Amino acid sequence: MKKRWLSSSQIIPIGFLLMILLGAGLLMLPIATADGAGAPFLTALFTSTTSVCVTGLVVVDTFSYWSLFGKAVILVLIQAGGLGVVAVSSAVFLLLRKSFSIRNRALLRDSFDLDSTSGVLRFLRKVIAGVFLIEGAGALLYAFAFVPRYGFVRGLWYAVFHSISAFCNAGLDLIGPDSFIPFRNDAFIGVVTMLLIVLGGLGYVVWFDSYSTMKTAVKKKFGARWFFRHLSEHSKLVLCTTAALIVLGAGVTLLLEAGNPDTLGGMPWGGKILNAFFQSVTYRTAGFAMIPQASLRDGSVLVGSVLMFIGGSPMGTAGGIKTVTVAVLFLYAFTYIRSSSDAVVFRRGISGELVRKAVAILAASLLLSLVSTVVLSAAEGLPLTDAVFEVFSATATVGLSRGITPNLHTFGRILIIICMYLGRISPVSLALFFHMQNGGRDVRYVYGRFFVG
């Protein structure tokens, strides 16, 4: 009998599921909770899912409910979920000096959505080194703020935990029930957190391209214009789209919330600008909050849901349908309006296959989010704004909530678990699926006569 292997698009979702179940099992142990009683299965499963899927929605307070062991498990799950199941297992193989088969290299290639297996192990080494370098730098910076507040040991632990959580766009914190609201006037913590979130969400390819190009620019004393011009078209698109979304989100937040006494209204203008930018950045799948999310106006909820749905960039730690997906769709739409033949950005054309892939990702993610919103609103009796915010936060693996997550009933919690899981693996699975070769006969049909618009 011919041996049948699972494909990459099957292995990756199964790997995430197994990691979630393993994490839930560890969190159910008596040693994992502060009271020594162990967590109920659904609470452990929810917490494990939100950690592995780097979401940040919680049904119990992380800082008080879990013991040190439980928090350590959560931190390991965040790190593993941020890097990805395949990357973590491959890193273990590297540490043990195990050989990689062609199939293992192909799986690693697919997990990073690379074009070939050539140099994939070198790419993995660079990713691991880059991740720990940035997280280490973030922990060092956080330590300057947390150690004076909480003492050396506790402050250092907080620095490490929040650096990993911020970089992985997880949004889980140990500060208290109000997330980062106690630090809403602390520009240092706000800026460090935003930098970690953005760096995690840019994607590894953008890191390496920017680093190598900047290295050359500094060595030959070229300016910023030369640096940007010599970046790859992917890096340019990611950086431009990311910057535009951050500025747009901050501007809209400032416009809508500057007069709201429950959010930005009582702050000086420096604080308003800081918190508006922080809110815009955290919408991008991070989940930390410096202002009460339940007090946001409906317009901010709508804009925030859209930004959460978009998320970060490909091959990074953030979720959502990704910045490049949205940029490709907008560019293709403008091309159609202008009656041009090809969508072009930075003097590079966008292939039809990439457009079809973007459309498929958008359609699948939007369908999941909208159906889940209706079901959650009906099942839990929630206002539509709260349901939209909660579900889009879950499917985009953001972690922001208007305070309803702990009050969800069993059905609502299970639905959010499913949303977080599908939101974490669905874009990856779709991307891998649409890269697979069609094994059947390529059948073409006569075009039908349809009307749209």
Q: Which residues contact 59 (CB under 8 A, 6 or more apart)?
A: 43, 46, 47, 405, 406, 408, 413
Which among 94, 85, 89 has a CA at the least distance from the CA of 19?
85
Domain presence at residue 449:
no
| CA–CA–CA angle 289, 164, 286 (5° rounding) | 30
pLDDT in the model for residue 437: 47
In angstroms and rounded to an integer, the radius of gyration of the C-alpha atoms of the chain is 22
Domain presence at residue 445:
no
* Domains: count for the chain: 1
Domain presence at residue 297:
yes
The pLDDT-based confidence of 194 (bands split at 50, 70, 90) is very high
Domain presence at residue 342:
yes
Residue 169 Ramachandran class (φ > 0 left, ψ -120 to 50 alpha, else beta): left
Sign of CA dihedral 118, 90, 420, 177: negative
pLDDT in the model for residue 425: 81
| CA–CA–CA angle 276, 319, 282 (5° rounding) | 15
Domain presence at residue 57:
yes
pLDDT in the model for residue 424: 85
The pLDDT-based confidence of 74 (bands split at 50, 70, 90) is very high
SS (H, E, C) the chain: CCCCCCCHHHHHHHHHHHHHHHHHHHHCCHHHECCCCCCCHHHHHHHHHHHHCCCCCCCCCHHHHECHHHHHHHHHHHHHHHHCHHHHHHHHHHHCCCCCCHHHHHHHHHHHCCCCCCCHHHHHHHHHHHHHHHHHHHHHHHHHHHHHHHCHHHHHHHHHHHHHHHHCCCCCCCCCCCCCHHHCCCHHHHHHHHHHHHHHHHCHHHHHHHHHHHHHHHHCCCCHHHHHHCCCHHHHHHHHHHHHHHHHHHHHHHHHHCCCCCCCCCCCHHHHHHHHHHHHHHCCCCCCCCCCHHHCCHHHHHHHHHHHHHCCCCCCCCCCCCHHHHHHHHHHHHHHHCCCCCCEECCEECCHHHHHHHHHHHHHHHHHHHHHHHHHHHHHCCCHHHHHHHHHHHHCCCCCCCCCHHHCCHHHHHHHHHHHHHHHHHHHHHHHHCCCCCCCCCCCCCCCCCCCC
User: Residue 153's CB: how many other CB atoms inside 10 A?
Assistant: 9
Q: Which residues contact 63 (CB under 8 A, 6 or more apart)?
A: 173, 174, 175, 176, 177
pLDDT in the model for residue 440: 47
Domain presence at residue 413:
yes
Q: Are strands 344-345 and 348-349 parallel, antiparallel or unpaired?
A: antiparallel
Two structure tokens written together for 85: 């199941």
Give the pLDDT confidence of 278-304 residue by residue, as tens digits: 999 999 888 899 999 999 999 999 999
The stretch 58-73 carries a mean pLDDT of: 95
Q: Which residues contact 244 (CB under 8 A, 6 or more apart)?
A: none
Which among 210, 226, 169 has a CA at the least distance from the CA of 400?
169
CA distance 15 to 26: 17
pLDDT in the model for residue 284: 82
Give the predicted TM-score (pTM) of the model: 0.91
pLDDT in the model for residue 27: 97
pLDDT in the model for residue 180: 93
Sign of CA dihedral 85, 131, 53, 245: negative
β-bridge partners, 66: 33
Give the pLDDT confidence of 320-373 residue by residue, as tens digits: 999 999 999 999 998 888 877 778 888 888 888 889 889 988 998 999 999 999
pLDDT in the model for residue 2: 46
Contact (CB, 8 A) for 120 and 109: yes
Give the pLDDT confidence of 362-401 residue by residue, as tens digits: 998 999 999 999 999 999 999 999 999 999 999 999 989 9
The pLDDT-based confidence of 314 (bands split at 50, 70, 90) is confident
pLDDT at 3 over 70: no
Amino acid, single-letter form, for residue 357 = K
CA distance 226 to 412: 52
pLDDT in the model for residue 87: 78
The pLDDT-based confidence of 427 (bands split at 50, 70, 90) is low
CA distance 309 to 320: 5
Two structure tokens written together for 242: 């990311």
CA distance 145 to 399: 24
Domain presence at residue 270:
yes
Contact (CB, 8 A) for 355 and 329: yes
Q: Which residues contact 351 (CB under 8 A, 6 or more apart)?
A: none
Domain presence at residue 442:
no
Q: Residue 93: which domain range?
A: 8-433
